Structure 1
């Protein structure tokens, strides 16, 4: 991180020129700019020379439109009060998901590190170290079952639950996304449902306020059920699905077995937050397909491939769900293995 003593009026162009030159010398793929407010985008474009791509991240719809009108590449972010390190991470995730950056690329980032609303800092980030195994293929694979925007919102909520906990205590959670009708048929209420009675538009997981509510309700027992469009259909649900024939990595508890069970008999995807260490695991068809290891203190989260135990192939069994179609087909995933039978209802606890 390099502080530069420049005024707000003159800071943007000099520091962007330095960033562009640094990117050329280092062989970086792009310069990522994290402005805190509007800029003279035509002047910014004049600095973006030498074959280095400029990516501008903004949460303002008006600024995103102005950036694109100036011929620059905009990265749309949701409004957030998170620390700059986390916002940079989110911008990089979006860029990789949109194929604007490749996994392992080197990026020069320009942001406000010392004085608000002034671009005064430069960092050089290698994505292979910052985001580890996150790739566009991973994100798009998940989108084949649940729309990307919905799944990303759920995963974001899960990562925040795992990283932050609630009121100083570690919190685990289970969120089942997609195929809501069949999922609800396999669950029953544990008691009071905090989302009951609200209009659909008031309980969509893409709304930051709804995600905050999920983080609070996660302290209660039971699972969340979320529809493909992001609507939270129910909370505090007891999952009652068979786990016979399923196998999970050692050390995973009841919450993970519930996720494996419900995804094995429906077309849903389940996002599980481990209470013990905050790790987020994503399940489909009864298997862990992706593991996200949380990184504390606003550092980047890591998207990692699942670690599974070897075993004998499982014999085909009758599935209680409709055939797959090209639109909602399954993810490519590791094979399964036989495991112990467990018949007790799963309540979503770890």
Structure 2
């Protein structure tokens, strides 16, 4: 994920060698590698990099992907997790979303309900048991959970077979807005990232 962030923010060139230094917890260098980022990121294609370079907050997207990978691997109380994270400004998705239930995140300070807080990630895991999506601001603030997505779309328009309503609604939403969706499949544990109405990344 570190290589991914460095590439999409322009700090590393995708096909050029880079020196990677590692250090122990005391700050002393204990390793040196020469790497080519493209060899470490086989799932990232050349034609996808431009799409990521247009994302204003790649750190937030990277964190959502990291959380999704963790949830897909660990589950919740021995059961698989299926949920969606919608990364967007509030006004962009407001016409297409509303609450299934009272918003569990309402009333809490913004600095507490943030995906960059390790303690809040466990709360997100528990809230993932609720139907609906998490709405996440560019700064990592979780504005709401259990959000319903109502966005027009054609389920058979380029969507891989076997994808359910969670994938269809998230993909359609990104086609009508500037949002990016990170979706965890409950049945397979696969993670899909949608942008501009199309699949941008897929992790198995």
TM-score by length of structure 2 reads: 0.79
| 1:286-340 C-alpha deviation (Å, 9 max, x unpaired) | 21122123xxxxxxxxxxxxxxxxxxxxxxxxxxxxxxxxxxxxxxxxxxxxxxx
Question: Does 1:270 find its partner at 2:199?
Answer: no
Q: Deviations over 1:78-132 (max 9, x none)?
A: xxxxxxxxxxxx44444444533644858676566xxx86877788877555431
For 2:147 and 2:72, the matched residues in 1 are separated by: 20
Q: Distance in 1 between matches of 2:23 and 2:111?
A: 34
Q: Structure 2, unaligned stretches of length 5 or more?
A: none
Q: Does residue 131 of structure 1 match 2:41? A: yes
Which of residues 87, 91, 97 in structure 2 aligns to 1:187? 97
CA contact (8 A) 1:155 1:271 kept: yes
Question: 1:13-32, aligned counterparts within 5 Å?
Answer: none
Q: Which residue of 1 aligns with 2:169?
A: 258
What is the RMSD computed on CA atoms of the aligned residues? 3.1
State the 1:150 CA deviation: 1.9
- The reply on whether 1:228 has 2:132 as its aligned counterpart is no
In structure 2, the residue matched to 1:249 is: 160
Structure 1 134/208 Cα, relative in aligned 2: closer, same or farther at 3 Å?
farther
Q: Which of the residues 89, 99, 103 maps onto 2:11? A: 99
Q: 1 or 2 for the larger relative contact order (CA 8 Å, sep ≥6)?
A: 2
Moved over 6 A (4+): 106-109, 116-126
User: What are the residue-to-residue correspondences of 1:198-217 with 2, within 5 Å?
Assistant: 198-217=108-127
The answer (yes or no) to whether the contact 1:105–1:127 under 8 Å persists in 2 is yes
User: Is 2:126 the counterpart of 1:219?
Assistant: no
More strand by share: 2
* Mean CA deviation greater in 270-279 or 236-245: 236-245
Is the contact made by 2:192 and 2:199 (CA closer than 8 Å) also made in structure 1?
A: yes
Structure 1 pair 168/127, CA: closer, same or farther in 2 (3 Å)? farther
2:87 counterpart of 1:173: no
How many residue pairs get matched? 201
- Mapped to 2, the partners of 1:212 and 1:140 lie a distance apart of 33
Aligned 8 A contact 1:105 1:128 in 2: no
TM-score by length of 1: 0.49
Q: CA deviation at 1:224?
A: 0.7
Larger radius of gyration: 1
2:163 maps to 1:163: no
- Distance in 1, matches of 2:18 and 2:85, equals 34
> Deviation digits for residues 145-190 of structure 1, max 9, x if unmatched?
4421221222221121122212222111111111322423322211
Q: 1-side partners of 2:95 and 2:34: how far apart?
A: 50
